[in-house]
A and B are shown apart, each in its own frame.
Chain A
Amino acid sequence: MMSNMIIGRYVPGNSIIHRLDPRAKLILSVSFIILIFLANNWLGYLILGLFTLLAVASTKISLAIYLKGLKPVLWLIVFTIVLQLFFSPSGHVYWAFGPFTVTNTGIINAVYVFLRFLFIILMSTVLTLTTQPLALADALEYLMKPLLKIKFPVYELSLMLAIALRFVPTLMDETVKVMNAQRARGVDFANGSIVKRSKAIVPILIPLFVGAIQRAIDLGDAMEARGYQGGENRTKFRVLAWQRRDSLAVLVFMCVLVILVGTRFLM
């Protein structure tokens, strides 16, 4: 069941994208989402599509994994497309029935919306598939540093993030273990009414909470025993290094941005 989750998973590799600085990847993929809304014509979408494909291809991870990542959001994509398709107010009407109308602008908008979804999901999957969660946390810490000026607890937050990420796999294992133990005692998670199935969650949640709290207490003690006192004045072991390829990636992105703005005037 958990094995089908592709979002948030890391696939080890050694492609050019894998080796990019996590800060570069984080900034670029967030900016990419803004970039997408600059495109308003087919040429712009074509360029964005090529750029996305280039990014996906250079991760050297098989396309099947990306397609699997699309599955959980499929219903959202379909829902939005249908809305766009049947409820467009203007344009040349091809077909109408009651409140439903299909117009040429409706069709075009539906295609655009579909492409936007596709690009955003593919790009964020590129980010998560090629970046280790801890590297991502480091990048976030670095990028949040300006917030120190407004007394925002950046170090504490990034420690929290690092610990949380570290314990995701542990808690997943624990969940599977507890579920197995309760299934062995006759709990059925797959069948029955919604009420029955929700009740079946209690024997999992309680042991998990108890375990997580106990683990937090133990970890806190262990950290104090090793001399941890708080966020300020600590050194960093994992140091991020900005390389030439990172600047290059930003440069490529900038080019796409300029071309995209160009197409807006052109078309």
Chain B
Amino acid sequence: MAIEFKNVSYVYQPGTPFANNALTDLNFKIQPNSYTALIGHTGSGKSTILQLLDGLIKPTTGQIIFDDHVVDNKTSQKILAKVRQHVGIVFQFPESQLFEQTVLKDVMFGPLNFGKNPQEAQELAQKALRLVNLPEEHWQKSPFDLSGGQMRRVAIAGVLAIEPQVLILDEPTAGLDPVGRKEMMAMFAELHATKNLTIILVTHQMEDAAEYADDVLVMANGQLVKHATPMEVFADITWLQAQQLDVPHTVLFKNKLSAQGFDLSANIINVEQLALALQRSLKKGGNHE
């Protein structure tokens, strides 16, 4: 599913002393089956974009075009509900949304709400739980008896069970240990590859954006300041730092190596590319002595 933002602005609590301009005149398009990273410092408007993407709020001005639905200020709740069915959103610390008596029931909750009968819902739930690799022995347990990482898997399964075409991830690995983080990100990459999902990832981990995304949106103060490939975004270190963003370790390391005389091409942002380039450079028996 393609999503297009046309001149979208959003104001919180308009017409009160608490009015707050969160987004100003956003224009961008998210291609079907793409993996988009949304980055920007805290308070730059990322969360507001996420809520707009899932039809949880309506733009104050402008339009958001989801394939065949157009959402603007006057769109009815019914159409928003339809949009929501195609867009799954995994909020930050999604384990705080669990509430059912068993894991399976909690995952069935979404499909049931979107009109599936209990039989179908259960099948979808089982499929989703397998996708997130939660062992079957936990399915009849209370979600509150699981570990934090397992709870997060259940919550993510709950979103996947509605079979969304677009999956939005808001810092899905926050608070996980390194292994958990890697597993989680690999799982999303696989879903992206095998299920033709469009993924939108909000992250402060520049390494993740460099590794997985094929499109990057950079936000600052409610405005879109750059929309480009990871290669273009992460190559410019001074610009990134001016936006209060981190630079991926790989880019920093590559620059250190280049300073030492290694002959490396400029187009390196992830570990694999760096390793290959190093290999090539060493084979050439370069001038790094």
Contacts and interface: CB of A to CB of B under 8 A. Distances in A.
Interface stretch (B62-70, B92-100, B247-255): B92-100
A166 interface: no
A241 interface: no
Contacts of A184: 54, 56, 84, 87-89, 91, 159
Given A185-B109, A186-B113, A188-B81, A207 B18 contact: no
A187 B91 contact: no
Interface residues of B, number: 30
Contacts of A210: 96, 99, 144
Question: B94, B97, B112, B144: which has the most chain A beta carbons within 10 Å?
Answer: B97
A191 B78 CA distance: 10
Contact of A181 (B87, B94, B112): B94
Contacts of B114: 186
Interface string B1-22: 0000000000011001110000
B77 interface: yes
A267 interface: no
B158 interface: yes
A102 B97 CA distance: 56
A181 B84 contact: no
Question: A177, A180, A185, A210: which has the most chain B beta carbons within 10 Å?
Answer: A185
B80 to A, nearest CB: 9
The majority secondary structure among interface residues of chain A is helix
A13 B122 CA distance: 55
A190 interface: yes
A207 B97 contact: yes
A183 B88 CA distance: 11
A206 B17 contact: no
Interface residues of A, number: 25
A104 interface: no
Contact of B51 (A65, A180, A185): A180
B110 interface: yes
Contact of B91 (A3, A177, A190, A203): A177
Given A180-B56, A191-B77, A186 B162 contact: yes
B146 to A, nearest CB: 13
Contact of A185 (B17, B18, B162): B162
B85 interface: yes
Contacts of A183: 56, 84
Interface of A: 3, 11, 61-62, 65, 174, 177-178, 180-188, 190-191, 202-203, 206-207, 210-211
21 contacts: A3-B13, A3-B16, A11-B17, A62-B17, A65-B17, A184-B89, A184-B91, A184-B159, A185-B110, A186-B84, A186-B109, A186-B112, A186-B114, A186-B162, A187-B113, A188-B77, A203-B109, A207-B96, A207-B99, A210-B99, A211-B96
